[in-house]
Structure 1
């Protein structure tokens, strides 16, 4: 390959300057706080993780309240009079109606959200010290909640990383023109900019998805050139598994990836096995937690995964 010239670096420099400038304007001037309920939900779970309380949510979710109370030994469908009667009988025996170790209505164990974005936010909260109670209050004349800015900043960081990754990957796969045009479309897209400061995990998902495609393309190229392609496939499997850990809806592209690898690489079906193993290893702990809390492999995340299919 020819060494990069000043002319070939110019489009990248322009893209980088536009990316930083427009993202900066969106973050510092157009951001008015988190508005997406899912982003707020993940942020308050991340706060609890940073405080050492685990993946606990302070949001009341009726379906999870019913499931949790049932598993704790309380029938949630009893009338108020019957519940009070049970409570009185158990109090006389020195017992409580609900075992708080199994079920705490004020800190439900979350089984809806994928953990990766929450854990990243929790780590940043811990480093910044925002997990401390005295810092979770509105101070000064600013009308924007400080932790909201931090959550939006994490989204912005992954938006920048995703765009730069797409530029590099498209430049490798095609040419500088396609890479520049695609990245300009992303930077100037109002929808992308809204996601960039939304606090939602989409930008993190895009980042891992882009690198999953890159490593898959590398594996295909290596195969055509009779070179080793197993390691790129493993890297691609890790990236697509991280997409799943960022948002459970990512299980669908992961399924497509495994089917494609199983068909495209011979012997058929053999090279999708490492991807399945990596997926199971990375999902083992979240699935175990969800099953122990809800009785199902994905808990209430089931309704996220199958939204639009099962009603």
Structure 2
């Protein structure tokens, strides 16, 4: 009996049981941290990107396929131009803005989790319950990423680096913000870290005197698959094929070309079906997402390209150098923020560590890969920035550089331990105190975020989910609304909604007459709360057809412009909200 007990204790301390205990403790610790964070810091969605991808996922889960209720005039233009049958909005509109991996995975989760989209009109509204479930989904992905960081830290350095890097990654407040933001970043993190894990294995096999070519080919094929899934999570990550091929060529002593071709083959095989789908629906490979490079330029400021029904006229006067100016401006800003990439000071340790040469080739090759990926993603992020980036520049799906942060953390922690070892501090207590102090300092943003007072979880202005859902229910499921926050109407209201056209006369009437009747208009505080003199009074002086002018005339004169087809307003919502309909649907 005593012998059996001793074996059991030995198993727990040093055998397989030790691993089980550590994983169990890690799961419990992360679950407690997630619970505390969600109770203290959870916020409802505050970006149109999160609402957009979530409503697409809901459509998939309900059997409607990759369709969207957030309808962009640019998307209508692409579909109409390609189909030429006059039936652009006769049925569900294909989603041409989002890559498919995240909404597809989220749709599967929606089928098994208890999602309830109904918002009570009698109870106090604090949080939208489906968004809590989506946060839990992303936090599960976050935990997988933490495990991968530990595995990579252990592989590149040693277990202590793996543990500390994983702990600091889990205590970085910026990633917790991503976990509740509703964007695809957590899935991209998991896929990217998995890709790096595979690349490290390829490096190990390539260093062997007699490499196992079968295993090597299997790993390169798997790398191509992960790269393809990254592309299908966000198109911009497809550019990582450049540093991946460079790393494979650097790591292998022979058959570099064959293995690089294998990666490219599987990558293209993975993404081709979706590109074919996009082309069959719109005549373009990337849908409206392919026009991101033109946004935020002099020719297409803000979100104007998404709101135009015929961008071809404006492209005739577009100059490529406008994109160049955009890239330089955005790259300059992103480069200035590099020392705080990831939301803490570990990036500074990584940058300092660039001066230290490594004897192990896997560390040198990995660092080169990080730097090359950093340059590629910096350029792609700068070129692809859209009007959504200034709203939340760090917590946004357009923040591509964030996927590199866990690797940078690992190298930063590695440098910390290198410096700690050279200090020759005697006594376990002294070293433990240094590590604890280092952890506390790096985790200070997270600690301060958890301290009281608790922030209100709402994102008003401009989003007020109960009101949006209430006014959306005035419309039938096949009727169309127009709004300045169409993603919110699609997500909270579950109704088709188009973004405001460029003009309230020509653009509105063209969409209304040529595509589908618009039954209601909702203008939120996003437009109505703009600075009066700069954004609203100026259009009045110019006598243009902007929606700012439309709102100003409606509010100041107490009547809708005479030539506008929607005449009936809910007066009790003014002046914070302007809701117009074709008849008094609320009576």
TM-score class, shorter: 0.7 to 0.9
Task: Report the TM-score, using the length of structure 1 for normalisation.
Answer: 0.80
Shift of 1:141: 5.1
Shift of 1:73: 2.8
Structure 1 CA distance for aligned equivalents of residues 124 and 268 of structure 2? 48
Match of 1:136 in 2: 117
Say whether the 8 Å CA contact 1:152–1:196 is kept in structure 2: yes
Structure 2 CA distance for aligned equivalents of residues 176 and 310 of structure 1? 38
Say whether the 8 Å CA contact 1:45–1:118 is kept in structure 2: yes
Match of 1:121 in 2: 106
Match of 2:383 in 1: 309
The alignment yields a C-alpha RMSD, in angstroms, of 2.8
Shift of 1:181: 2.3
After superposition, give the CA deviation of every residue in 1:169-206 in whole Å (9 maximum; x if it has no partner).
22133212211222222122111110112111111111
Asked if 1:31 is matched to 2:42, the reply is: yes
Structure 2, unmatched stretches of 5+, are: 1-10, 294-379, 386-587
Structure 1, unmatched stretches of 5+, are: 75-97
Structure 2 CA distance for aligned equivalents of residues 45 and 36 of structure 1? 15
Shift of 1:65: 2.0
Match of 1:86 in 2: none
Asked if 1:275 is matched to 2:279, the reply is: no
Q: Which moved more, 1:22-31 or 1:47-56?
A: 22-31
Say whether the 8 Å CA contact 1:237–1:275 is kept in structure 2: yes
CA 1:15–1:174 in 2, change beyond 3 Å: closer, same or farther? farther
Residues 28-177 of structure 1 correspond to what in structure 2 (within 5 A)? Answer: 28-73=39-84, 98-99=86-87, 103-104=88-89, 107-128=92-113, 130=115, 135-139=116-120, 143-177=126-160
Asked if 1:248 is matched to 2:235, the reply is: yes
Structure 1 CA distance for aligned equivalents of residues 157 and 292 of structure 2? 35
Structure 2 CA distance for aligned equivalents of residues 210 and 32 of structure 1? 27
After superposition, give the CA deviation of every residue in 1:73-122 in whole Å (9 maximum; x if it has no partner).
38xxxxxxxxxxxxxxxxxxxxxxx22xxx22774311221111100111
Structure 2 CA distance for aligned equivalents of residues 113 and 184 of structure 1? 32
Asked if 1:191 is matched to 2:153, the reply is: no
Structure 2 CA distance for aligned equivalents of residues 182 and 112 of structure 1? 35
Shift of 1:276: 1.3
Name the SS for the 1:26 alignment partner.
helix
Say whether the 8 Å CA contact 2:206–2:251 is kept in structure 1: no
Task: Report the TM-score, using the length of structure 2 for normalisation.
Answer: 0.44
Match of 1:180 in 2: 163
Greater C-alpha Rg: 2
User: Which of residues 264, 273, 281 is equivalent to 1:285?
Assistant: 273
CA 1:223–1:71 in 2, change beyond 3 Å: closer, same or farther? closer
Match of 1:82 in 2: none
Structure 2 CA distance for aligned equivalents of residues 124 and 248 of structure 1? 22
Structure 2 CA distance for aligned equivalents of residues 300 and 37 of structure 1? 15
How many residues get paired? 279
Structure 2 CA distance for aligned equivalents of residues 141 and 189 of structure 1? 32
Match of 1:238 in 2: 225
Structure 1 CA distance for aligned equivalents of residues 176 and 275 of structure 2? 32
